[in-house]
Amino acid sequence: MHAINYEAPKSLDEAVKLLAAHGEKARPLSGGTDLLIQLRAGTRRPEFVVDIKEIPELARISFSLQHGLKLGAAVPCIAIHENGDMRKYYPGLTEAAHLIGSLQIQSRATVGGNLCNGSPAADTTPALVALGAQARLAGPKGERIVPVDGFCLAPGRTVLQPGELLVELQIPAPERHASDAYLRFIPRNEMDIAVVGVGAALSLDVSDDRVVEARIGLGAVGPTPIFAAEASKSLIGKTLDAAAIERAAKLAVAAATPIDDMRGTAEFRRHVVGVLTRRTLAIAAERARAANQR
């Protein structure tokens, strides 16, 4: 690995100043499970590595039913799974975080890093897209908030500008009968890169099982994670029956733009998008019916 300079600022201000001073020569370090591999392989060669884990604001999970969730960019995946609010209110995002790698990896890897790394197959990004998450960024020109849908531009490329840093992910509080789910297909039991990943979030009117809100996120079936807008829209106002789920699954398949690669063919991936869309919708619906959170 090439020589680097390491800084571990204790405040967001300090981190922003450091990153601004070094621009493209700097890279934030969170769990390091992607960055250290990239440094070793020489695919990223920052001169300055800015460790963001010492910044209290970035290292915390803050949740209330009034204000929703603020998930710090440096929170390790294992802390999400160990958090009762996360398991209760965002089970889909929690299961996505708990699917990434081994316990060794989950002890370090972060949802923020998963997003900023920009992999089309990131497990937590479709779950974030389904929840309508927003990313709070801080940089030399100040702060801005951007939707996670659209955050990734191409494999390994995101909207982050040189010197800009992900501070936290913001997710609205769930409605009374709302929940989410994430499933991925891999050819093994555990610890692999998604061939297809699907996240779904639903809010229901349980008096007649009508869908109030629906969002479906797709992973590993395009150059970036995908928000399946038509599929999501098709559910809103409808009773969540088999026909509605089938229609949404077909529209989700149509939204996917997969390629053939070593993990699977485009044709197989399209098929799996349909299967996982049906399943995640069914699981999210079951959870949403059981939820009673206000």
Would you tell me which residues interact with other proteins (CB under 8 A)? 1-6, 8, 29, 31-33, 36-37, 39-40, 49, 51, 53, 78, 91-92, 94-96, 98-99, 101-105, 107-108, 181-184, 186, 189-191, 279-280, 282-283, 286
Q: Which is nearer to other proteins, 143 or 286 (CB)?
A: 286
Q: How far is the CB of 283 from other proteins (least distance, A)?
A: 5
Q: Which is nearer to other proteins, 32 or 150 (CB)?
A: 32
Give the C-alpha separation, 269 to 222, whole Å. 10
Give the C-alpha separation, 73 to 168, whole Å. 5
Q: Which is nearer to other proteins, 199 or 258 (CB)?
A: 199
Q: How far is the CB of 150 from other proteins (least distance, A)?
A: 26
237 φ/ψ angles, rounded to the nearest 5 degrees: 85, -10
| Side chain identity at residue 191, one-letter code | M
Cβ atoms of 179 and 206 within 8 Å: the answer is no
Q: Which is nearer to other proteins, 71 or 135 (CB)?
A: 71
Give the C-alpha separation, 225 to 219, whole Å. 5
The set of long-range contacts for 57-66, using a CB threshold of 8 Å and a minimum separation of 24, is: 57/12, 57/167, 57/168, 58/12, 58/112, 58/167, 58/168, 61/85, 61/86, 63/89, 63/173, 64/173, 65/173, 65/293, 65/294, 66/173
| Side chain identity at residue 267, one-letter code | E
Please name the residue ranges forming H helices in the chain: 12-22, 35-41, 77-81, 84-89, 91-97, 103-106, 111-117, 124-130, 229-235, 242-255, 266-290
CB half-sphere exposure, 284, CA atoms < 13 A: 35
Q: How far is the CB of 4 from other proteins (least distance, A)?
A: 5
Give the C-alpha separation, 126 to 292, whole Å. 24
Q: How far is the CB of 165 from other proteins (least distance, A)?
A: 18
Q: Which is nearer to other proteins, 135 or 235 (CB)?
A: 235
Q: Which is nearer to other proteins, 49 or 160 (CB)?
A: 49
Q: Which is nearer to other proteins, 5 or 64 (CB)?
A: 5
Residues constituting the chain: 294
Q: How far is the CB of 17 from other proteins (least distance, A)?
A: 19
Q: How far is the CB of 144 from other proteins (least distance, A)?
A: 29
Q: How far is the CB of 141 from other proteins (least distance, A)?
A: 28
Instruction: Tell me, rounded to whole angstroms, the distance of Cα 155 from its chain centroid.
Output: 15
Q: Which is nearer to other proteins, 92 or 118 (CB)?
A: 92
CA-based nearest residue to 111, from 138, 72, 141:
72
Q: How far is the CB of 146 from other proteins (least distance, A)?
A: 28
